[in-house]
Amino acid sequence: MGLVDLQVVDQVAELGDWLADGGVVVLSGAGLSTDSGIPDYRGPSGSARRSTPMTYQTFTRDPVARRRYWARSHLGWRTIGEAQPNDGHRAVARFQQAGLLRGIITQNVDGLHQAAGAREVVELHGNLARITCLACGGSTPRELLSHRLDAANPQFAGVATAFNADGDAELADESLDGFTVVDCLDCGGLLKPDVVYFGETVPPERVSRSFDLVAGARTLLVLGSSLTVMSGRRFVLRAARDGIRVAIVNRGVTRGEPYAGLCVDAPLGIVLPHLACELTPVSS
């Protein structure tokens, strides 16, 4: 398996028993996508962002801030849009295909669970691959917007100095000068990635569906999340309250440890493929 810590080996074996019981709900965070080249915020492969996250209020009310956001996001999409699922994503998809999972909830906005073959994923915070119009509600693919922004900004040559898990690149201010934002082709309204900004709430139907999944689970399996924000931690709290087993696989500490029966501090890219091989053998 590639792990030398005997305690971790024992923990992974116990986690395999829990997975084999079925009825598992996966809750994934940014740490699951780091092996795909997308940094997380707080784990070993990333750091807390240096710029203030965009809020919905600022995005809609401040044209200068909105232009700055779109320049950074346009550059960040070049990384997010090209990212490929890693062995951890593929292992989760195999668990689902083998009937071991009750559902998948993700805090990520990269769409890599689905790219790996997973289905019916609850995307708590949306998906960067979709663009929505705040006026008419129309939805378009991100790729279309990317082409339009390229055409509107042929001289844009910004270089990211850092990159965040939500696709927001860090850019020097001088790189933002003259960047042109485009609006909805149908009605001229403001366009926004179909993701939940700070200052917005997760759509109630996604929260309700997630709680329903957790309520019927045997195990809530948290993958790659520090559980710092309540958006994900609330499901751990609900599971613990209802006597549902909680397992966490994450590099470093998480705020869910007091509620977990298993906490495995080990690389997801090793643990998950190992368990997939153990529990979902590929037929020849």
- Which domain does 93 fall in, by range? 1-38+85-125+201-284
* 74 in active site: no
C-beta atoms surrounding 178 within 10 Å: 10
Distance, in Å, from the CA atom of 5 to the CA atom of 8, rounded to the nearest integer, reads: 5
Lowest mean pLDDT among 37-41, 102-106, 138-142, 226-230: 37-41
What is residue 15's predicted lDDT score, i.e. its pLDDT? Answer: 98
Task: Say if residue 149 is in the same domain as residue 186.
Answer: yes
Do residues 60 and 170 both lie within one domain?
yes
**Residues 116, 236: one domain?**
yes
pLDDT in tens, 108-128: 999 999 999 999 999 999 999
Last residue of a domain, one of 195, 213, 243: 195
Among 67-71, 158-162, 179-183, the range scoring the smallest mean pLDDT is: 158-162
Distances (CA, A) of 169 to 80, 106, 129, 174: 10, 21, 16, 14
Any domain includes 7: yes
114 plus 207 within the same structural domain: yes
Q: Is 187 annotated as a binding residue?
A: yes
How many domains does the chain fold into?
Answer: 2
Residues 2 and 120 in one domain: yes
Per the model's pLDDT, the better-predicted residue between 1 and 47 turns out to be 1
Q: Check whether residue 212 and residue 270 sit in a common domain.
A: yes
Structure token digits, residue 207: 């929260």
Q: What's the CATH code of the domain at 59?
A: 3.30.1600
- Taking only the tens place, the pLDDT of each residue in 24-56 is 999 999 999 999 999 875 544 444 444 567 899
What share of residues in the chain are helix, strand, coil (percent, to 5)? 40, 15, 45
d(CA 202, CA 265): 29
Same domain, 235 and 189: no
Q: Are residues 166 and 244 in the same domain?
A: no
For residues 103 and 223, membership in a common domain is answered with: yes
What CATH number has the domain bearing residue 216? Answer: 3.40.50.1220
Q: CB of 268 within 8 A of CB of 35? A: yes
At 227-274, the pLDDT tens digits run 998 999 999 999 999 999 999 999 999 999 999 999 999 999 999 999
Contact 76, 169 (CB under 8 A): yes
Residue 277 in marked binding region: no
Task: Determine the pLDDT at residue 7.
Answer: 86
Cα 268 to Cα 250: distance, rounded to the nearest angstrom: 7
263 is in an annotated binding site: no
Round the average pLDDT of the chain to a whole number and report it.
90
- Decide if 44 is inside a domain: no
Span 210-220, pLDDT tens digits: 999 999 999 99
- Verify that 6 and 146 share a domain, yes or no: no
Is residue 133 a known part of a binding site?
Answer: yes
Count of Cβ atoms closer than 10 Å to residue 69 Cβ: 22
Q: Are residues 185 and 162 both part of a single domain?
A: yes
pTM of the predicted protein model? 0.91
Rounded Cα distance between 156 and 136, Å, is 29
Q: Among 232, 248, 238, which Cα is nearest to 217's?
A: 238
- With pLDDT > 90 as the criterion, what percentage of the chain qualifies? 75
Residue 28, domain member (yes or no): yes
Active-site hit among 113, 125, 147, 274 = 125
10 assigned to some structural domain = yes
Together in a domain, 91 and 78: no
The confidence score (pLDDT) of residue 166 equals 64
Which residue, 172, 195, 218, sits at the end of a domain?
195
**43 lies in a domain?**
no
pLDDT at 161: 55
Angle, helices 268-279/87-97, rounded to nearest 10 degrees = 30
